[in-house]
Copies of this chain bind each other. A is one copy, B any other.
Amino acid sequence: MCGIYLDHQSAYPVDPRVSEKVFRYLSNEFGNPSALHSKGLHSREVIETARENVASLIKAEDPGTIVFTRSATEANNLAIRGTALRNVGKGKRVLASAIEHMSVLNPMKDLKKTGFELSLVPVDATGVVDLQALENLVTEDTVLTSIMYANNEIGTIEPIREISDTVHSKGMYLHVDGVAAEGKVPIDVQKDGIDLLTISSNDIYGPQGAAALYIKPGVRVQPVIFGGGQEKGLLPGTENLFSIAGMGEAALLAGAEMEQESERLKEIRDGIITEVAEIEEAYLTGHPKRRLPHHASFRFSRIEGESILLTMDAMFNTQVSTGSACSSRTLEPSHVLLAIGLRHEQAHGSMVMTLGRLNCMEQVPVIVKAVSQTVQRLRALSPL
């Protein structure tokens, strides 16, 4: 039996059309893009084509706004540390929503060591950023505010345009972590009013090893690691040619196919949400309407998310997540679920399903049955 993969967000399979391209630059057409000979120049062209495709996907002004990094974590660090430290003369205050990813929150927290003041912007019970609170928190000396386009654990899509207006009414730059949203909803950095945007390759079915930071023309950023002059000195080290080539191809495909694919996933997702919500004491987490088309997240009372994950995997060969894979090996409840107002014991019973190319409508009844039986089984065993 093939199993049902519902953990796309933690790792996407690479699109076969993309891996063909990756393989080409891995084995045959290799060369250091900084080398001045013909192999180097060819590699340079491959990278610049990828840069154009990535810029197009997010409707950037021009390809020169895109800096390739090696991971979304690295892009978030460059956006946050690199921007805050470069603009320290303008103020030492930074903001982030309370539900940001660890690769945003942790560099923000580290800035406190160098005298920055960090405030977290609260969200409501569905995970939407509290615009009034944001307005109260943003000040003239707020150099950077970081709010994600959509949340990875609860699927809620943030009102980025309104957030941008609020941030820019008094503060300086808005950074947006677009990793959960990219390829699912159309991102338009210009219309959305974004100064810095993080996207990754794998989340649009590209290979690991490439990600990108969009930097709006005029925004000043400094590097966070040091070395050669690659990527205008902002991301030193020999470029990861085949991953960048793959990301470019993935961006092209995502631009062309996103709308139709998102419609398809939304139907499957709605099927799952409708049925799973019927289970006793099962609650949808995140916003019921403003949510990512591929995202279904729940909490179940009286059972542990980790037990759900393990049972679904072992008994039904179905892979789900309990939240962010990055913190899956800790016993702490998710900071996202606490931020939307859940108590510790409620936050522990979470299950996240993220759909993608490996899913189809025919799987819905099988998935629902697996969840239902898993929950029933675990509750029967539970001492609570």
What's the minimum C-beta distance from A161 to chain B, rounded to whole angstroms?
27
> Which B residues touch A239, using CB under 8 A?
208
Q: Tell which of B106, B227, B312 touches A227, judged by Cβ atoms closer than 8 Å.
A: B106
> Which B residues touch A5, using CB under 8 A?
39
Separation of A101 and B236 alpha carbons in the complex (Å): 12
What's the minimum C-beta distance from A214 to chain B, rounded to whole angstroms?
18
> Which B residues touch A365, using CB under 8 A?
none
Q: Tell which of B39, B238, B329 touches A34, judged by Cβ atoms closer than 8 Å.
A: B329
Contact between chains at A207 and B26 (CB < 8 Å): yes
> Which B residues touch A23, using CB under 8 A?
19, 23
Contact between chains at A102 and B207 (CB < 8 Å): no
Say whether A117 faces chain B, with CB atoms less than 8 Å apart: no
Contact between chains at A326 and B230 (CB < 8 Å): yes
> Which B residues touch A230, using CB under 8 A?
326
Which chain A residues have a beta carbon within 8 Å of chain B's beta carbons?
5, 7, 10-14, 16, 19, 22-23, 26-27, 30-32, 34-40, 43, 70-74, 76-77, 81, 101-103, 106-107, 109-110, 202, 207-209, 224-230, 236-243, 306, 309-310, 312-314, 317, 319-322, 324-330
Q: Tell which of B73, B103, B225 touches A77, judged by Cβ atoms closer than 8 Å.
A: B225
Separation of A237 and B70 alpha carbons in the complex (Å): 10
Knowing that A106-B227, A209-B243 touch, tell me 19 more A-B residue pairs with CB under 8 angstroms: A7-B35, A10-B31, A10-B34, A10-B238, A11-B31, A11-B43, A12-B30, A14-B27, A26-B207, A32-B325, A34-B329, A35-B321, A36-B328, A70-B240, A77-B226, A107-B226, A208-B242, A209-B240, A228-B326
Separation of A13 and B39 alpha carbons in the complex (Å): 12
Residue on B nearest A72 in the bound complex, by CB: B237
What's the minimum C-beta distance from A334 to chain B, rounded to whole angstroms?
13
Contact between chains at B209 and A70 (CB < 8 Å): yes
> Which B residues touch A238, using CB under 8 A?
10-11, 71, 73, 202, 208, 325-326
Residue on B nearest A225 in the bound complex, by CB: B77
Closest CB pairs A-B (n = 10): A228-B326, A73-B237, A103-B227, A209-B209, A106-B226, A10-B32, A71-B237, A70-B70, A37-B313, A11-B32
What's the minimum C-beta distance from A308 to chain B, rounded to whole angstroms?
11
Separation of A292 and B316 alpha carbons in the complex (Å): 55
> Which B residues touch A11, using CB under 8 A?
30-32, 35, 39, 43, 238, 241
> Which B residues touch A324, using CB under 8 A?
228
Q: Tell which of B30, B76, B103, B313 touches A14, judged by Cβ atoms closer than 8 Å.
A: B30
> Which B residues touch A243, using CB under 8 A?
208-209, 243
> Which B residues touch A236, using CB under 8 A?
73, 102-103, 106, 326
Residue on B nearest A241 in the bound complex, by CB: B208
